Chains A and B, each alone.
Chain A
Amino acid sequence: MTPDVLTVQGLNVSVRDTQLVSDVDLTVGPGERVGLIGESGSGKSLTALSILGLLPDDVVPSGSVRLTGIDHDLIGADERALSRIRGRDLAMVFQEPMTALNPTMRIGDQIAESMLIHHTQPTRTAARAAAADLLDRVQLPADLLRAYPHQLSGGQRQRIVLAIALANDPALLICDEPTTALDVTVQALVLDLIVQGVLARSSALLFITHDLAVVATVCERVLVMYGGRVVESGPVHEVFTNPRHRYTQGLLAASNLEAAAPASGRTNLQAGTASRPRLTTIPGTVPAAGHFPSGCVFRNRCTHATDLCATTPAWSGTPTTGYACHHPAGASHA
Chain B
Amino acid sequence: MPESPTPAAAVQVIDVVRDYPRPRTSLLRPAPVVHALRGVSLEVKQGERFGIVGESGCGKSTLLRLIAALDRPTSGQILVEGNEITDLPERRLRFLRENLQLVFQDPMSSLDPRMRVRDIIAEPLVVQGHPASRERVLELLDAVGLSSDAGDRYPHQFSGGQRQRISIARALAPRPRILIADEPVSALDVSVRAQVLNLISDLVDELNLTLIFVSHDLSVVKHVCDRVAVMNAGQIVETGPTGDVYAAPQHPYTQRLVSAIPTLERALSGATTADLLAKGETA
Which residues of A come within 8 Å of B, CB atoms? 39-40, 154, 183-189, 191-192, 194-196, 210-214, 216-218, 236-237, 240-241, 250-252, 254-258, 260-261, 265, 267-269, 271-272, 276, 278-282, 285-286
Contacts and interface: CB of A to CB of B under 8 A. Distances in A.
B272 A40 contact: no
Contacts of A184: 55, 216-218, 257, 260-261
A45 to B, nearest CB: 13
A216 B264 contact: yes
Given A40-B189, A269-B241, 10 more contacts: A183-B216, A196-B273, A216-B262, A237-B268, A255-B190, A268-B242, A268-B243, A272-B226, A279-B198, A286-B189
Given A183-B55, A191-B273, A240-B268, A214 B262 contact: yes
B190 A212 contact: yes
Given A39-B190, A268-B241, A261 B223 contact: yes
A188 B263 contact: no
Given A212-B190, A272-B48, A187 B260 contact: yes
B3 to A, nearest CB: 20
Nearest to A185: B260
Interface in B254-283: 256-257, 259-268, 271-274, 276-277, 280
What DSSP secondary structure best describes chain B's contact surface?
Answer: helix
Interface in B152-186: 159-162
Interface of B: 47-49, 55-56, 159-162, 189-195, 197-198, 201, 205, 216-220, 222-223, 226-227, 241-244, 256-257, 259-268, 271-274, 276-277, 280
Nearest to B246: A268
18 contacts: A39-B189, A188-B273, A210-B189, A213-B264, A217-B262, A236-B267, A240-B268, A254-B191, A257-B219, A261-B223, A265-B243, A267-B243, A268-B243, A272-B48, A272-B226, A279-B198, A281-B198, A285-B162
A326 B276 CA distance: 38
Contacts of A210: 189-190
Contacts of B273: 188, 191-192, 194-196, 217-218
B159 A216 contact: no
Contacts of B190: 39, 210-212, 251, 254-255
